[in-house]
Amino acid sequence: MKSYRVAIVGLGRMGSTIDDEFKGSPSNALPYSIAASCKFSDRLELIAGADTDSEKRDVFGERWGIGALYEDYVEMMEKEKPDMVAVCTRGHLHAEMGVAVAQAGVPMLYLEKAMACSMREADFVRDECIKHGTLFNTGVLRRFDPRYWAVREVIESGKIGEPRVAVHYGRTNLLHGHIHSIDTISYLLGDPKIVSVRGELRFRDKSEPPTIRNNRLDADPDAIFDIVFENGVEAWSVPEGPWEFEVIGDEGAVRSMNNGFNTQLRRAENQGGKRAIWVDAEVPAAEVKSTVVICLEDLLNAHESGNPTLGDVETTHHITEVCLMIAESHRQGGVWMELPLDNRDLYVFHR
C-alpha cells in the first residue's frame, strides 16, 4: 500500500496536541490531531513541521520524532516536497497559506476552517486550488463522521419522507462555529445549493453590540441564521442547548443528538384512520471512527481515483459565502439576501 508524505504548518492544538483534551470524550474519536492521525494511518507518513514559535517546534519534534522542523513553511515545502500539507494555523492566515500551498504544486491540502475571512480571499483559494489541481478538504469534520453518514442515509432512504425543515441547536459563533453547523446541514440534505440567507450577529456581552466598521469586523461573534436551499428546504439555528441537528420531513424526523453521540428517528404512523402520530423507530448503530483520519484518507482516495473529495473546494467556498452573508445581512438590518454575495471584501476576523 502506497504511503504519502505529510507536512504540518502550525504545530499547536490541531496540528499536535488536541488529543490530550479529548481523552475519554464520547463525541470525539481519537486520533484527532493531524500528527496523531498520520501516525495512526499506514497510508500517511508525517515528515515535517513548520511554526514560527521555536518552543512549539521543539515540543513537536520530541513528541512525534520529527527532525525536519522549519520556521518558514514555504522553505519546508521547497525542501521536503510533501504530498500533502495540513495548515493548522489561526484563521486569518488560512487563505494566504492555502494559496501558497496550491501555488507550490502540493497535490493535497488540508486547510483548517474557515478557509478565509472574506470572499475575496476565498475566491483566491478556490481559484488557485483549481488552477494547480490541488485537492482540498477542510476541518468541518461532521461530514467525515460515520454517525452523520447514518443520519444522511435515513434521509436519503425516504424514512422521513420529503425533507421540509432542518434545524441546528447550539449557541456558537459565526466563522469558527456556524461553518460547521451550515456545512453539516448541507451535507445531511445532500449538498443542494443555498439560494438565500438572512442572519443576525450577537455578542455574548450584550452591552457591546457587534459593529462592522470600514467593512470589517475584528471579532467572531455569535450568530443566528435562516437559510433556504434550492429544493425549498429551509434551515435555521436555535442558539441554545447541546449541539444537535434535526431534519423534519413530511413523514417523520431524524435528530442527531448530543453532538452525534446518539440518533433519534420518529416516523408517522396512522392510528385507525385518525390523524397520524409520530412514533420512535430504530436507527442502526454507526461505527465511531476518527473523523480526521477519514478526512485525510479521503484526500488520498480522491488523489488515487480522480474523484472529488467529500469536502471539495467548491462546496467549502459555497458554505463560506453563506457564513459571510449572515454578517452582511446583519449589516443591512437582517434583510434576506440572495447568493452570490456582492460585497466580496467584507472581512470577519476569526481565531
Q: What is the pLDDT of residue 1?
A: 76
Q: What's the fold here for domain 4-141+292-311?
A: Rossmann fold (3.40.50)
Which residues have CB under 8 Å from 322's CB, separation 6+?
182, 194, 197, 225, 227, 339
Residue 161, sorted as left (phi over 0), alpha (psi -120 to 50) or beta, turns out to be left
How does pLDDT run along the chain (351 residues), one tens digit per residue? 799 999 999 999 999 999 999 887 777 899 999 999 999 999 999 999 999 999 999 999 999 999 999 999 999 999 999 999 999 999 999 999 999 999 999 999 999 999 999 999 999 999 999 999 999 999 999 999 999 999 999 999 999 999 999 999 999 999 999 999 999 999 999 999 999 999 999 876 665 667 899 999 999 999 999 999 999 999 999 999 999 999 999 999 999 999 999 999 999 887 555 667 889 999 988 989 999 999 999 999 999 999 999 999 999 999 999 999 999 999 999 999 999 999 999 999 998
Kindly calculate the radius of gyration of the chain based on its CA atoms and give it in whole angstroms.
Answer: 21
What pLDDT, on the 0 to 100 scale, is given for residue 112? 98
Q: Is 105 left (phi over 0), alpha (psi -120 to 50) or beta?
A: left
Any residues with CB less than 8 A from the CB of 224 and at least 6 apart, and which? 199, 200, 202, 236, 237, 239
* CB of 251 closer than 8 Å to CB of 268: yes
Distance CA(152)–CA(171), nearest Å, equals 23
84, 6 Cβ separation under 8 angstroms: yes
pLDDT of residue 61: 98
User: What pLDDT does residue 227 have?
Assistant: 98
- Residue 294's Cβ-side half-sphere holds a number of Cα atoms within 13 Å equal to 21
pLDDT at position 208 is 66
The residue extents of the domains of the chain are 4-141+292-311, 143-287+318-348
Instruction: Kindly report the CATH number that applies to the domain delimited by 143-287+318-348.
Output: 3.30.360.10
pLDDT at 275: 63
